[in-house]
Structure formats: structure tokens, C-alpha cells
A and B are shown apart, each in its own frame.
Chain A
């Protein structure tokens, strides 16, 4: 009889349950308070970065904080420092933030390229524009309704057009060369001296 089982089991369980309930609830409340405090701390750091005060940001920081540092670096066109942060954002499930970070990286590259073009250094500007277009394209893949990325991709595309013959198979992706492995020791002496 389930009703009988309940009547027997309930008085025995009741003291333990009454003890566990406030303990669990207080533990949950404490965890919520810690999360709130962390969010507030991250927001203060984001505000600092937006105000132009640099803060070191670890790659395991919350995604909005990573993005704030990426935008700070983009403002200074420091593309090399941005790359590990964008790569860290890739592992988070935040497509909108990743799109914004890639867009900022594309902008930083394109600004450097435009600066080089201004100084008539066309050769180093080319690869930068191609890389910037890749970032815009990836930003749009993550967020198809990202209008600023569409606009800037159009600007970059007018500087260097796509050539159908060149990358018909690979699209905009650059394939990495498989690692070349030495099958023989170079320079090993052979035959008679």
C-alpha cells in the first residue's frame, strides 16, 4: 500500500528533510550571491576597458569581458594581441559576441591596410585586406544580420575582388599545408668521400 508506506516513511524522513531544506536553500542563495558579485566585478572591468584604461584579461574570463578587451585592442589596431582572445571566444557558446570580436579584428586589419595604402605600400596591404575579409565573412556566418559587418565587407571587397578561378574550391578559407615531414636526414654523407 503506497499510502501506508508513506505514513510509515514520512515521520522518519521528516527531521532529515527539515534539516536539509534550509541548508540547501542557503547554499543556493550563497552561490547566487557569488555569481552576482562576479558579474558586477566583470562589469566594472568592462567599464574600465570602455573608458580606455587597459586591464589584463585572462582567456578564461567571461565572454563579455573578453569582447571588451578585444574592442579595446581594436581601438589601438593591436591585431596580434587580439587573436588569442578571439580564439578563446570561439570556444564559448556566444555567436553574437564572437561575431562582434571577429568584426573588430577585421576592422583593425583593414585600418592597418588602409594606412599602408595611404603610404603607397601596396604589397603588405594585400594580405591584410584578405585576412580582414575572412574575419568579416566569419562574423557574418556567426550572425547573418550583422549590418555593420556587411557594410565593411563590401568596403574591403572593393579593394580586392574575389577571383573565381583562384579560390573556387576553397571559398574564402585558406587550407593549411599538411606538416612536411623529413623522410631522410638531409646532408647525410653518402658513397665514397
Chain B
């Protein structure tokens, strides 16, 4: 009981000792010469005992302060025991002569939270003076039409088409080399067929043949096209017996091994067995085309 009481007494003593902040100061970079609508910056500096902070709920809220003054922004900044409030006001006082007005002060609550609970201490930010100035003479020259006293409506801006135009041109300029890269990868015009894209050429030839009406000549030509592709890829005339060795050298085409074997069998039938009908039954042109297409895909990924 006794140590607890002693602790409580120490706490009370500490609370009363820290209840008073050392200083509250309002600093205004300029206190005179404000027109209506001007922004007024003010800095409130509060020096507290260690451990105390400004309670966020006690900060002034942005909004109207008096009929001629708005508070627009409140920012806090803390460095050790020094707390700083950056206040931005906006004055709407339509002055006829230069005069000094009082900006009202406001209360703040300091709080210190420790293991024994929170201690709070109210402080008052003092009012300060602000000098406002007139924007026009007291009695302007007479005008025939009172609307001439007003400033004109003015003009609005136009839309700026330059940024989207620049972006469109830049993207189009980048698309051109991208298209060239794609054309080179697929051996499209203006790039010539080359050994590295031999199957692309064969697949293209077979596709155009598949679109034409069915004929024996077309079928033979299709088989020949795939033969030429295989020859170009192998670097020499490729026969059915060389297929295994070829697939050993180019493992990327191994998934098509069965189709290629059927292709060679059909080719043998068509060109040497004189049995084109049977060959077409074993390996229709559409399948040869699909095989060539698969080979071309594998070729691009190799």
C-alpha cells in the first residue's frame, strides 16, 4: 500500500510540474499588406516538457474561423520537445482602408501517455493581429454602365493535343522496328527464306496449296515443299533413312517424329510406288500442312 501511495504522489507531483508548457509562440512571416483572397501563413510553436505531444483531436479543423477568415490547412511537425503547427488561412476581408484585424486564438491539449495512464494539459494559443489592405480606391471614377466596374470574364484554355500526338507518333515509330523483327522471325516479306526458317517457307507453301482445289499435282507439290524444307534444314538431301540422325541433331523437332515417318512413307508411295491415292489416304495434305506448321513453331522457338 505504502509504495503505491508514494508512486501516486510522485505521479501527481510530476503531472503538476509538467502541466505548464514552457512557451507558446505564434510566428507570422508577414502581418500586414494582405488583400482579400490572399493566403496567410502562420506558425505556432509550442515548447513542451519531454514526453508531451499535441492531442490530434484538439487541433483546429480546416473551415471557416470567422465570417472573413477561413482556415485551409493544418500541418504538424515535431522535433523533440518542440512542436510546430503550420497553419494556412485565407482572408476574405474586403477592406476599404488599411486596417488591423484580430485572428482569434484557439485552445490545444497536450497529452503525455505513459504506463500509468495519460496526463493532459490544456494550453491557449493567443490571438494575433493581421493587417489587411484595400485593393481599389474608395471612390472609383464614374462609369456610365456600372458593369464596367467589373473585370471581364476572360477566356478559358484549349485542350492540348500535343501529348497524345507525341505519344501516338512515338509508339508508331517503335511499332515499325517491332514489325520488322516479327517479319524477320517469321521470314515474311521482305525477308528471304533462309535455312534457319526453312519450315516457315514450307508451311506457307503448303497452306496456299491446301486452299487450292484438290489435285494430285498439288499434293505432290505439297510433299515436295516439305521435302525442300527438310533438305534446307538438314543442309543436304534428307531421305527416310536419315530421319533418325536428323532428329538426333535437331531434338527440337522430335515431337513430330511420328508424323515425319508417315510423311516419308507417303512420299515413297506417291513418288516411287505410283500410288498417290493411297499416299493421300495415309497422309492427307491437311495433315502435312499441320506437321509443317508445328515444325515452323518449333523452329521459331529453337
Interface residues of A (CB under 8 A from B): 11-12, 14-15, 18-19, 21-22, 25-26, 28-33, 35-36, 39-40, 42-43, 46, 50, 62, 64-65, 67-68, 71, 74-75, 97, 100, 103-104, 107, 110-111, 114-115, 117-118, 137, 140-141, 144, 146, 148-155, 157-158, 161-164, 167-168, 170-173
Contact = CB atoms under 8 A, between A and B. Distances in A.
Interface residues of B, number: 52
Interface in B21-73: 35-39, 63-64, 66-68, 70, 72
B116 to A, nearest CB: 40
Contacts of B179: 22
Given A12-B301, A162-B68, A154 B36 contact: yes
Interface in B153-201: 153-161, 164-165, 167-169, 171-172, 174-175, 178-179, 181-182, 185
Contact of A32 (B38, B157, B168, B185): B168
Interface of B: 35-39, 63-64, 66-68, 70, 72, 90, 92, 94, 96, 134-136, 146-147, 149-161, 164-165, 167-169, 171-172, 174-175, 178-179, 181-182, 185, 297, 300-302
B150 A15 contact: no
A68 B300 CA distance: 56
B153 to A, nearest CB: 5
Contacts of B153: 71, 74-75, 103-104, 107
Contacts of B302: 11
A152 B150 contact: yes
A111 B136 CA distance: 19
A74 B70 CA distance: 28
B159 A71 contact: no
A164 B185 CA distance: 79
B136 A151 contact: yes
Contacts of A148: 151-152, 154
A10 B175 CA distance: 21
Contacts of A30: 168
Contact of A153 (B37, B39, B169): B37
Contacts of A164: 66-67
Contact of A97 (B64, B152, B157): B157
Nearest to B184: A18
19 contacts: A15-B297, A18-B178, A25-B175, A28-B167, A28-B168, A29-B168, A32-B165, A32-B169, A46-B156, A64-B156, A64-B159, A71-B154, A71-B156, A104-B153, A104-B154, A144-B38, A152-B150, A153-B92, A157-B36
Contact of A21 (B94, B157, B178, B300): B178
